[in-house]
Amino acid sequence: MFLDEAKIEVAGGDGGAGCVSWRREKYVPKGGPDGGNGGQGGNVVIRADSNTDTLSDFSSRKKFEADKGAFGRGTNSAGKAAPEYILLVPPGTSITQIADDGTEVAVLADLSQHGDQIIVAYGGRGGYGNAHFVSSTRQRPDFAELGEPGERKKIKLELKLVADVGIIGFPSVGKSTLISVISSARPKIAAYEFTTLIPNLGVVFAADRSYVVCDLPGLIEGASEGKGLGDKFLKHIERCGVLLHLLDISRALEEGNEVNVDKLIADYKAIRKELIAYSPTLAEKKELVLLNKIDLINSDTTALVKKLKKAKIDIFMGISAAARLNTDDLIMKLLPVVLKEREKREKIVEEKDQKNAEELPVLKPQLQSEKMGAFKLTQKQDGTVMITGKRLEQFTKMTNFNVHGGLQRFRDVIDRVGVSKAIRHARGKEGFEEALVYIGGIRVDEYL
């Protein structure tokens, strides 16, 4: 399967709960409060790494969750923060947040360079332990906060795949056959010319790496002027890292199975002429020349390679795509060339980037800037009260309502910032006295 897009779910780790604990002192059975804070949950980080080639890691696994922070403990010991959970993607991957129905919410980042990274889901804050809540009016707090749930998000990863290798040559030289043998692409193959009408992409796996190969429609003389399938595909070839130029022995076979070397040289030169005529970029591109269909001459290419070398045509390898001769070898031998060209291209992108340095969108940590008093109240037809507000929702999620002190603190805070008053007002209308109240997703009317 060819994958350049993946939809996944990421979740920061939950914060660890704060601890309720009392000091042990001599002669005092229950000393002062010493419950420590919970640890911060782990962030989920996406990092561009040039040792990664595709998004195929994300085709089977869809959920990625960082570890939770550890609980706080007695003797004022804080729980350990959880480590970052790092997902590696190839440079060039863009990250978009999506809604449940798949619609795009916001572009989060474009990770263009090796090492670029972004936190896509923050871990939750650890809850405060009871020691934190000591004050002049509250000397023995019997409650602690719960850990904040980690941030959850659905995101789409997209990688615009630029082919590492472009297979070129005359029609019917075996370009599609080759890509079908070395990759999972399954293009149409046939004995007539111009079987391939649009480029096919395929991923080639070589050891623990992979690269993208592109099979192109056949070129003919005059292609640079729009003959055959026209110049739009030459434009496509311009973006490939390496050109794999296929020479077809069957085009030069004469009676008695003799190969007419001049015909092969003429074929080679004809294609080169089109590339040069089309653009300097194409002419300068790294090119490897393959002899295909060597099965027709019993695989012995020594004499032929020698003669071609005299004409300044270096044969990278002789293969038979259809008979799968030397094709596994080709996969491995292409890899270092591909990686080298990629490095060169990355440098070019880097230089361009420095010229028009664009600011990456920065994700704001969820714990800052939002005030508890910044909330919004909406009321449904049936009277249900819905309260939203980032900081207030976070606070509510972290409240342990099962303990008297926790409940008391919740009431104190919502009184102080005016939430209680707003709720009373909304429920004051006739018939709405018992209306349900939600802060974020949590039902709170029984705690008011």
Ligand X SMILES: Nc1nc2c(ncn2[C@@H]2O[C@H](COP(=O)(O)OP(=O)(O)OP(=O)(O)O)[C@@H](O)[C@H]2O)c(=O)[nH]1
77 vs 195, which CB is nearer to Mg ion?
Answer: 195
Minimum distance of ligand X from residue 97's CB (angstroms): 41
186 vs 424, which CB is nearer to ligand X?
Answer: 186
Minimum distance of Mg ion from residue 175's CB (angstroms): 5
Minimum distance of ligand X from residue 216's CB (angstroms): 8
120 vs 181, which CB is nearer to ligand X?
Answer: 181
The interface partner of residue 282, options being Mg ion, ligand X, none and the CB cut-off 5 to 8 Å by kind, is none
The interface partner of residue 296, options being Mg ion, ligand X, none and the CB cut-off 5 to 8 Å by kind, is ligand X
Burial of 392 (0-12, 13-18, 19+ CB in 10 A): buried
173 vs 313, which CB is nearer to ligand X?
Answer: 173
Beta bridge partners of 377: 387
Q: Which helix (H) or strand (E) holds 365?
A: none
Q: Tell me how far apart the alpha carbons of residues 302 and 312 are, in angstroms, rounded to a whole number.
A: 15
The answer for residues whose C-beta is within 8 angstroms of residue 75's C-beta and 6 or more apart is 21, 23, 34, 36
User: Look-up: residue for tokens 């704001």?
Assistant: 364
Q: Where are the alpha helices (DSSP H) in 279-416?
A: 280-284, 302-310, 327-355, 390-397, 404-416
Residue 95 near residue 109 (C-beta atoms within 8 A): yes
The interface partner of residue 295, options being ligand X, Mg ion, none and the CB cut-off 5 to 8 Å by kind, is ligand X
Minimum distance of ligand X from residue 192's CB (angstroms): 7
Minimum distance of ligand X from residue 214's CB (angstroms): 12
The interface partner of residue 193, options being ligand X, Mg ion, none and the CB cut-off 5 to 8 Å by kind, is ligand X
User: Look-up: residue for tokens 């998000």?
Assistant: 153
Cβ count within 10 A of residue 64: 18
Residues that bind ligand X (CB under 6 A): 171-177, 189-191, 193-196, 217-218, 292-293, 295-296, 320-323
Sequence-ordered strand ranges (E) for 12-75: 44-48, 63-65
Sequence-ordered strand ranges (E) for 226-338: 242-248, 253-254, 258-259, 286-292, 315-318
153 vs 175, which CB is nearer to Mg ion?
Answer: 175
Minimum distance of ligand X from residue 228's CB (angstroms): 9
Q: Which residue is nearest to ligand X (CB)?
A: 218
Minimum distance of Mg ion from residue 221's CB (angstroms): 18
82 vs 234, which CB is nearer to ligand X?
Answer: 234
292 vs 301, which CB is nearer to ligand X?
Answer: 292
The interface partner of residue 293, options being Mg ion, ligand X, none and the CB cut-off 5 to 8 Å by kind, is ligand X
157 vs 244, which CB is nearer to Mg ion?
Answer: 244
The interface partner of residue 55, options being ligand X, Mg ion, none and the CB cut-off 5 to 8 Å by kind, is none
For the chain, the helix, strand and coil percentages under 3-state DSSP, each to the nearest 5: 30, 25, 45
C-alpha triplet 396, 397, 399: angle, nearest 5°: 65
The interface partner of residue 171, options being ligand X, Mg ion, none and the CB cut-off 5 to 8 Å by kind, is ligand X
327 vs 379, which CB is nearer to Mg ion?
Answer: 327
C-alpha triplet 426, 429, 435: angle, nearest 5°: 60
Residues that bind Mg ion (CB under 5 A): 175-176, 195-196
Minimum distance of Mg ion from residue 196's CB (angstroms): 3
The interface partner of residue 391, options being Mg ion, ligand X, none and the CB cut-off 5 to 8 Å by kind, is none
The answer for residues whose C-beta is within 8 angstroms of residue 254's C-beta and 6 or more apart is 260
Q: How far is CA 328 from CA 168, 205, 237, 334, in A?
A: 19, 10, 24, 10
The answer for residues whose C-beta is within 8 angstroms of residue 77's C-beta and 6 or more apart is 36
Q: Which two tokens stand for residue 164?
A: 């590492």
Minimum distance of ligand X from residue 202's CB (angstroms): 13
The interface partner of residue 321, options being ligand X, Mg ion, none and the CB cut-off 5 to 8 Å by kind, is ligand X
